[in-house]
Amino acid sequence: MDSTGVPHVLEHTVLCGSQKYPCRDPFFKMLNRSLSTFMNAFTASDYTMYPFSTQNPKDFQNLLSVYLDAAFFPCLRELDFWQEGWRLEHENPSDPQTALVFKGVVFNEMKGAFTDNERIFSQHLQNRLLPDHTYAVISGGDPLCIPDLTWEQLKHFHATHYHPSNARFFTYGNFPLEQHLKQIQEEALSKFQRIEPSTAVPAQKPWDKPREFQITCAPDSLASSSSKQTTVSVSFLLPDITDTFEAFTLNLLSSLLVGGPNSPFYKALIESGLGTDFSPDVGYNGYTREAFFSVGLQGIAEKDIQTVRDIIDRTIDDVIEKGFEDDRIEALLHKIEIQMKHQSVSFGLALTSYIASCWNHDGDPVELLKLGSQVAQFRQCLKENPKFLQEKVKQYFKKNQHKLTLSMKPDDKYSEKQAQMEIEKLKQKVSALSLEDKQQIYDKGLELQAQQSKAQDASCLPALKVSDIEPSIPFTELAVTLAAGDVPVQYCAQPTNGVVYFRAFSSLNSLPEELRPYVPLFCSVLTKLGCGVLNYREQAQQMELKTGGMTVSPYVLPDDSHLDTYEQGVFFSSFCLDRNLPDMMHLWAEIFNSPCFEEEEHFKVLVKMTAQELSNGIPDSGHLYASIRASKTLTPAGDLQETFNGMDQVRLMKRIAEMTDIRPILRKLPRIKKYLLNADSMRCAVNATPQQLSPAERVVGDFLGNLGRSKKERKPVRPHVVEKPVPNGPGGSTQSGSHVIRKLITEPTFKPCQMKTHFLLPFPVNYIGECVRTAPYTDPDHASLKILARLMTAKFLHTEIREKGGAYGGGAKLSHSGIFTFYSYRDPRSTETLQSFAKAVDWAKSGKFSQQDIDEAKLSVFSAVDAPVAPSNKGLDHFLYGLSDELKQAHREQLFAVHREGLVDVSNKYLGVGRSTHGLALLGPENAKIAKDPSWIIR
């Protein structure tokens, strides 16, 4: 047991070729030979899971065959281990004079993962709270230990763990089960003898007294306060997760303790003003054999550690004394009911993840899924003993000696020390090498490079054909009617399982420019500050009791036929059980007509949380931030995207969170409300079962009838508005008078320009985005560019950026808005990757791809185009983008028609140097080359 990450490196390496499919990298090749809707692999602390899904029966068999062979009969070639795990290699593999460095996909992935301070905290929390066995090590691999892993150890781990006697299979869906079982038996199980695997995780020995630890991390340059960057949490070990009912009860209890503004820990900790947000892993964690509960604060001053600990102890005593209000317990049980009814397209995957841990420790997965009977048993226990929950709090929190206090504070030299330790590790490895070893490293490096560059034969892998793709899409029945005079409402009858979905979209056209940057903040606090007679706590309670959630978010919707035209607005989204629709619409009416913007203290709390969440999200989404910034100057919509969702927004929120007097910001909210929360330029959409539609029509009509209107017509701030009628649904011609008129903004004088930005961040890896202005959705070139992006990713960029460059991910994509993006993720390289992007364009222009390559790219694009849509989201494209089924079908035919000449043509027309405007952005550490280049802006 160690932190070399052997299970994680193995997860990567088994997917690099197997007995039946000996070609290199069957996993990435199957992405383009299948219509899969999901393909991946995950390594948890104590199991590795290989999930996939598809809607095509033949495809399911193909993927099952590839996955079974990968798991049970992988090649585990040494060069694949070098590429995926770690290797010593010359900085430039062709030049033995360059320095030896560590390379490898998992090595860089984990370096990237630990740039995230929340991840560092979570990892230590688990390692320290469960120190006796497997949970004391890092299953994903510690970057400083990964280079101790040998190829022999990897093969040994596979031999001892990857056996059917130690495996579990899970299928979900409507393909016949017998077929799956037969295939699993024939292709895997029949080739093994039963063994008794010795992989059980022993119980953690409980402590006789509490423990404490301090750790350090890198300072967060985007956090709102440099003096308040300490995190502290108190965690308690809970019983074995295989005790299904106890686990259910403790999970519920945790939600009562930390969920939402009415919970005791929210009131005591979040509203104390000491920190910005709960500590990582707050609440119930059931992913280890024994569960644990954790609670604490991040963004505190180091001197407040003891204060936070005292508050936690006091709160536990309070709860034992006072218990919980019945309404809060009802709200939680309601949440379970609505979650059981709400259908998501990844429901099967969610179930697999839900049962994996418990089943892995020999719990009963079927018992676990019987939520209804667990709820009934829970109600019974409460009825028999009203103090049932208080006694649990006393037992597991008050009297529990297995209690860990973990604190983490920033150290200015943290990144330097990490880098220094890596240099030491490298020195130690290199100094142990003989001349012969060095020669071998050089030869292996060349061999790996040659193997990565060699044209590969994937003919051994099964594949679907383009003819397996459905030629036409099923049409969605929609009806659009006018309510309250002139507000269009789109109705879509769907099998929603007794749940009603209500959405609205309200235009931002008349909002003054200076208020624009504050729209995301307005959206995130609108449903959290109270409304009508309800204060924010009562409002949260009503939302929990009566709805599945009510969210508000800013949207920039590109036009489908013109790059300089877009629609801007705010999207309101919510759902509830059909019996609660009147209550939900009443809540929306109160939020629209009388939102409360007086709660200064609570507003401060929400601002700090938002700023902290944005800052914490950067290590996971760095490539998205880079891409948004890179496209800022390419279209008018790009500029607004950066304002709403880019680094500009992250920095604005940091500034607001640092303000001593927040009232000037709070005063902007009622001004935004005046332009936004009325029926003037609004449209709505309802998805529900057929029998629910007419009651819904009444309730929505009443809601709209009670909304305010502007006394005088407000002029749009940007003078150029294009009115665009939307077809009324399938077969509905626009002639009969369209009910939906979208008011789009256009900027006829807009000139795209190039901008290059480097955001300096204390990460050891880079996130890169390069964007090009190309063609809108309805242009046939758009279809060619969409296929081209996939082709470049699969056939060129994957090899260049991931295999050779060692980045965790990279590729090309085309957005609905006609922006073509090259990106890389957790990338050890920077300017070299930009050269790889340029090389990819040359490769595309030279047309070095076969018809087979094009067909594979089409399969991959169609698997995304035809991804399943949940009943709740049917018709949403039509509602938001005005995309009719006819337009989608036309685009589909353009995709089918894409051919080789067209691909070379669009490469030349848009992507070549000097053709179309490019934008570039990079998030990452200091960079000498960029610093010397005056064309880059450094932020």
Among candidate residues 78, 84, 178, 422, the one labeled active-site is 84
DSSP characters over 166-217 = G------SSS-HHHHHHHHHHHTGGGS-------PPPPPPPPSS-EEEEEEE
In terms of Cα–Cα distance, which of 119, 938, 937, 224 is closest to 650? 224
Instruction: Return all residues near 254 (Cβ < 8 A) that are at least 6 apart.
Output: 283, 284, 293
CA distance 596 to 917: 45
CA distances to 264, 397, 692 from 378, in Å: 21, 20, 31
Tokens of 58: 């033949």
Active site includes 246?
no
First to last CA, the chain: 43
DSSP characters over 802-843 = IIIT--SEEEEEE-TTSEEEEEEEEES-SHHHHHHHHHHHHH
CA distance 131 to 292: 13
Active site includes 84?
yes
In terms of Cα–Cα distance, which of 246, 681, 251, 767 is closest to 487? 681
Residue recorded with tokens 């180091």: 302
Write b or e for each residue in 312-348: b if 16 or more Cβ atoms lie within 10 A of its Cβ, otherwise e: beebbeebbeebbeeebbebbebbbbbeeebeebeeb
* H or E stretch at 730: none
Q: Taking the alpha carbons of 365, 171, 193, 73 in that order, is the dihedral positive or negative?
A: negative
CB 482 within 8 A of CB 488: yes
- Give Cα 82 distance to the centre of its chain: 29
CB 862 within 8 A of CB 472: no
CB 673 within 8 A of CB 592: no
**Residue 263 CB neighbours (<10 A):** 22
In terms of Cα–Cα distance, which of 442, 436, 448, 431 is closest to 82? 448
CB 659 within 8 A of CB 665: yes
Tokens of 50: 């290989």
CA distances to 275, 603, 720 from 607, in Å: 12, 6, 34
In terms of Cα–Cα distance, which of 593, 617, 615, 632 is closest to 917? 632
Instruction: Return all residues near 9 (Cβ < 8 A) that are at least 6 apart.
Output: 81, 84, 85, 86, 106, 141, 146, 149, 154
In terms of Cα–Cα distance, which of 653, 538, 525, 659 is closest to 598? 525
Tokens of 121: 């905290």
CB 562 within 8 A of CB 569: no
CB 685 within 8 A of CB 492: yes
In terms of Cα–Cα distance, which of 870, 145, 162 is closest to 476? 870
Residue 733, SS3 per DSSP:
coil
**Residue 237 CB neighbours (<10 A):** 20
| Residues labelled as active-site residues | 11, 84
